[in-house]
């Protein structure tokens, strides 16, 4: 049937994720940092997503599309409720002491999510941020990781050996589209961890921005072996 349905121009999408959050039917998802219409039969054609898009990437079209399936939408909502809602992006506020220091016993994490594949390309917490890109094993190997590395930074983690695909494009877009102040890469000494270093350094070069950066390597027994 021909009906009114949304279309998303990928080139205009900033990856903010606001449209996906506004779509109560779950028709929109984030794929490789960009919004996509996941299923025609989930889109009711009412356009709650249109007014929240900051770049005008979403519009209505008339085209051949599957009819809106309310039963399928409700079933999907029940499944989502039972699952993990952990990909919702949000800032974490930390209470500081009179000296202006967050107590050491507290987590220093200041945003969620942290997985490279889950973070939006553009988010308010990226503006003016010191960016930490870390192999996920580093936080387990190095005992004081929160205080020495996460503190005061926006943290992105990943495993180049276990995750599918390459982080370079996503990290390039994050650095290019936000006012990042510095980049710190923390990796393990094992060879496969070189993938996260290469992705981050290549992303910085591809972004054509000149910001301070460093790479720190952690040994498997929990020592900093270069800085």
Look at residue 102 and tell me whether its pLDDT is greater than 60.
no
d(Cα 75, Cα 169) in Å, to the nearest integer?
A: 34
Q: Give the strand pairing for 182-188 and 130-135.
A: parallel
**Using 50, 70 and 90 to split pLDDT, how confident is the model at 132?**
very high
What is the structure's pLDDT at 91?
64
Candidates 87, 122, 92; CA nearest to 106 is 92
Look at residue 219 and tell me whether its pLDDT is greater than 60.
yes
Interacting residues of 27 by C-beta distance below 8 A, sequence separation 6+: 6, 37, 38, 39, 40, 42, 43, 44
**Using 50, 70 and 90 to split pLDDT, how confident is the model at 107?**
confident
What is the structure's pLDDT at 163?
83
What is the structure's pLDDT at 164?
77
Cα-Cα-Cα-Cα torsion 124, 92, 138, 186, nearest 10 degrees, comes to 30
Write down the residue that tokens 């190997």 correspond to: 141
What is the structure's pLDDT at 56?
92
**Using 50, 70 and 90 to split pLDDT, how confident is the model at 105?**
low
What is the structure's pLDDT at 15?
86
Look at residue 81 and tell me whether its pLDDT is greater than 60.
no
DSSP designation for 115? B
């Amino acid at each position: 049937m021909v009906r009114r349905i949304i279309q998303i121009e990928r080139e205009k999408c900033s990856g903010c994720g606001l449209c996906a959050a506004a779509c109560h039917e779950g028709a929109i998802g984030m794929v490789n940092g960009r919004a996509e219409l996941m299923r025609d039969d989930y889109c009711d054609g009412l356009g709650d997503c249109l007014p929240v898009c900051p770049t005008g990437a979403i519009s209505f079209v008339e085209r051949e599309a599957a009819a809106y399936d309310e039963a399928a939408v409700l079933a999907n909502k029940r499944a989502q409720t039972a699952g993990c809602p952990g990909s919702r992006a949000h800032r974490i506020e930390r209470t500081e002491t009179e000296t202006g220091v967050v107590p050491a016993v507290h987590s220093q994490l200041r945003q969620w999510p942290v997985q490279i594949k889950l973070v939006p390309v553009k988010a308010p917490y990226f503006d003016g941020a010191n960016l930490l890109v870390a192999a996920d094993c580093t936080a387990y190997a190095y005992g004081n990781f929160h205080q020495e590395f996460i503190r005061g930074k926006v943290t992105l983690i990943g495993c180049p050996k276990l995750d599918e695909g390459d982080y370079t494009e996503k990290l390039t877009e994050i650095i290019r589209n936000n006012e990042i102040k510095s980049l710190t890469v923390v990796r393990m000494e094992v060879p496969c961890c070189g993938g996260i270093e290469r992705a981050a350094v290549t992303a910085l070069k591809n972004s054509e921005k000149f910001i301070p950066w460093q790479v720190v390597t952690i040994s498997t027994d929990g020592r900093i072996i270069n800085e």
